[in-house]
Structure 1
Amino acid sequence: MSTVVSGTTKAGGKRHRDHDLWRSAYKKLKHEPDGKKILEKCHKTMQKESAKKGISIGHLGSSDGRQKLLKLINAHADSMKSHSGTYDKVLSTILKTKDVVSTGAAASPPAAIAVAGIFMVFSIHQDYLREEQAMLDCVTLIARIICRRAVEHKECESRPLESKELKELRQQLKWSYLEMYFKLLLTTAKLVYKLSIPRMQRWADTLVGWTDWTAEIASLEKAEREIVDDLDVIHHYKTNPAAQASPYWRKGRNTLHQNAAIGIESRVAELIETNSFDPNAKTTEEWTALSLAAEGGHLKCCQILLEVRGIDIESQNKDGRTALHIAAMKDRNEVVRALVRKGANLNVKDKDRKTPLHLAAEAGRLRAVEVLCNASGISLDLSDSNGRTALHLASLKKKAPVVKLLSDKGAKIDRKDSKKRTAFLDAADVGSTELLKTLQECGANINQQTLTHKWSALHMCASYGHSKALQALLSFPDINVDIQNTDERTPLHEAVLKNRTKIAQTLCNKGAAVDTRDKKKRTPFLDAAHAGNLDIIKKLKAKGADINQVSGRNKWSALHEAALKGKIELVRWLVNEGIKTDLRVRSGTKKGMTAREMAEQGGKEEVGEFLRMCEERG
């Protein structure tokens, strides 16, 4: 059987490597930062596993590596045949893949890596607990896809005298196969990587985002559906060519787009040299070949395209983003440099009025931010549709190193957005201790207040419960611990109102005024009584709060507040501390009432009885 994966053959039957989609998928995986890391771990695990069986493997991606992997596969296959019962059907499917990569349509070193991986995972599935079935389902699906799609892969091959449209449809199918093989390799590598972790740590949270096997299965199924869709289009075109008006109605990508996206520079160069496609042609999402190459970080492809006469370096997609936007956002540092050298507009804005610097800062892409900041003509303080600068966005996303870099490069540290908020207030809002310290060191106004309600960073941290951030703020020499908002409430007021006991105690320990009155003439002590928080009440009293204080208008005391709420423990404590029990409310629906009368009217019998006994004792 000929090797379908390679697509075409040269004279003498030698495979044409440019059409080996398994190899292309393998190459793509190696160029992904996370993919490269996990693939290296997968390789080491396979080499160790092979060594246990007396098989020495050097480079897995070579022909020799494939032969050694086949030996490993055969060794596992022999031992797995003893399995029976629940796994008979699964085992049968997995064993079929051995033939596919040995002499069948997927006889390629990268395909052998995928198959060796699923054999390894299946052979020790007994070791797994909660993830056992999900991983087994993943392995089974990979095996089935490899077997199912190997035969249909022949539809990728062009035939003599075929129309240009049909050839392009087959190219679309080839692209889908490449994406699927990429996902097969990545998922298999993740499975093998999981096995490399010491057994006692295997189920710890060490692979966040890498062990959602249900999501992996869904991704693989989606990739296979793409192939089924492409096959349907080809079948429809072959049976009714006139009905297929556009060969790329589904994705809108031509061959140049495809090759630029996956970084096959030789093919990109060939297509450019032969004028096969307009270099500025757009997909249905209005991406150009340059944008796609920039997204993937394919520097050589970008350099080839940038040398094309008439290339539109400022072409924008549906989101208004140029190649520079995309490269900066994805941290494609070298591509950003290349685009900057070619004169890309540094300050171009997308539909949200964000520049490449905005996107890089928001994503925490420190290297890309540095390249952009060092470029001549960059504007550091441009605003997006919300009036936010790059420094604002970095603050909102807790990207302290980016904030420090932007400040060092001259970005305005106290620039206000459309809501008149500074980066320092944003940092307090999200509770980032590191960011608050960074901004303070950069000279930010630490007592800055919002426009509408005059909230400071301390108000936010006190109200939202950001205790560590609040402690950082209180360590700053010039912090105003008693700063008031439009309601004349201090951070201590807000902490008490939200029942933030530890934060209220911290503020008291840092010297916060305990008897400050807000617009309604209420103090933190009265608010604490209203909330029934005895711990805060005790702390405020210890710091000098007047136990007999009353509110401004109605003249409610802390005892009135506690009695109405039926807080018997608090009532007893207040009485024992000497609070006056005969104080009467001055106005409102409770006018003239004592705390006892208020409790009795409200059905708080235990409180009412206790206060009556206190009155009788005098």
Structure 2
Amino acid sequence: MMAGIKPPDVVDKHVRESSDLYKAAEANVFADAQAAITAGADVNTANLQGVTPLLLAVKNNNAQLVQLLLKAQADVNLVSADSSPLHEAVRTRNAALLEVLLGAKGNVNLMSDGKSPLHVAIQENFGDVVDVLLRKGGDPKLKSAVGATSLHFAVIAGDRAMVEKFVTSSGSLNEQNKNGKTPLHIAAEKGNIDAIKVLLNAGANTNVKDTWGRLPSECGKITAFKMISEHKPGMKYEYVTADDEETDDKKKVDDKKKKK
């Protein structure tokens, strides 16, 4: 037999043990996974979609199995058809496990399904996970497959605090995605008045046209249209807080009582 080529029985055993490891990870059974690794399983074995035992362990929030696989040299940066161990740690909002993966040479800016872990964390509005990723070197200027920046994703998520975080740190206030849309276009489309206020207060350009020649003011409903089209440089907008809304509601009730 030629040097370097394993006998058929050895190859069959390796495939079998690797399959056993995948099944154990899928079933979330630590003891079976440990036995398969001890027997020589390939820790980076994957199904047809590229899903590895490590990705499954992260998805199942099994920190013990994750540590076992990492100790056996599982590759943190292997990407499946639509995810990766890092992206799954973000989706399950497991900041501690995410830190473990990043500490095992995980690429904080790894792209999967056209998005970085930071893009996913912002989209899910997981502030604690966003903070971990930024602290570990997540790039807020990195674009997704469709040209969206962190600020685009923050506007899509709709949380004002998240928009405020990235309006200053991303350096992409007027950046356009592949459809020519700036964050202000997106905010107008979604009717997100708070996001529009944040963007305008930060100096967003109201005259950028998208691929179809539309201004941000032409992408929204009447409130967004008026706010953007009537905006002048230097104008600042205040935000209505939950307490303000509660006070306004109470005032309306008191006024009704006085009229009776």
Secondary structure at 2:164 match in 1 = helix
Equivalence for 2:136: 375
Encode CA deviations 1:207-229: one digit per residue, 9 max, x unaligned. xxxxxxxxxxxxxxxxxxxxxxx
Give 1:289 deviation, angstroms: 0.7
Equivalence for 2:80: 317
Please, what TM-score do these two structures have when normalized by structure 1?
A: 0.32
Distance 1:263 1:368, change over 3 A: farther
Q: Does 1:277 align with 2:41?
A: yes
Aligned residue type for 2:48: T
Aligned residue type for 1:346: V
Equivalence for 2:233: 478
Q: Does 1:389 align with 2:149?
A: yes
> How high is the sequence identity, in percent, across the aligned residues?
20
The structure whose Rg is larger is 1
Give 1:471 deviation, angstroms: 6.2
Length, aligned pairs only: 220
Give the root-mean-square deviation of aligned CA atoms. 3.1
Contact 2:217 2:226 in 1 (8 A): no
Distance 1:315 1:445, change over 3 A: same
Distance 1:437 1:268, change over 3 A: farther
Contact 2:121 2:129 in 1 (8 A): yes
Q: Does 1:256 align with 2:21?
A: yes
Give 1:452 deviation, angstroms: 4.6
Aligned residue type for 2:61: G
Give 1:424 deviation, angstroms: 1.5
Give 1:449 deviation, angstroms: 2.2
Give 1:444 deviation, angstroms: 4.1
Give 1:263 deviation, angstroms: 4.2
Unaligned runs of at least 5 residues, structure 2: 1-14, 236-260
The match for 2:71 among 291, 304, 307 is 307
More RCO (CA 8 Å, sep 6+): 2
Give 1:408 deviation, angstroms: 4.8
Equivalence for 2:218: 459
Q: Does 1:423 align with 2:183?
A: yes
The match for 2:115 among 325, 350, 354 is 354
Give 1:295 deviation, angstroms: 1.8
Name the structure with the higher helix share. Answer: 1
Equivalence for 1:363: 124
Equivalence for 1:331: 93
The match for 1:447 among 198, 202, 206 is 206
Unaligned runs of at least 5 residues, structure 1: 1-245, 248-252, 481-618
Equivalence for 1:554: none
Give 1:311 deviation, angstroms: 1.9
Encode CA deviations 1:466-496: one digit per residue, 9 max, x unaligned. 53x456557966389xxxxxxxxxxxxxxxx
Distance 1:433 1:333, change over 3 A: same
Distance 1:275 1:471, change over 3 A: farther
Equivalence for 2:105: 343
Give 1:271 deviation, angstroms: 3.6
Give 1:405 deviation, angstroms: 2.9
Superposed, which structure 2 residues align to 1:161-200 within 5 Å?
A: none
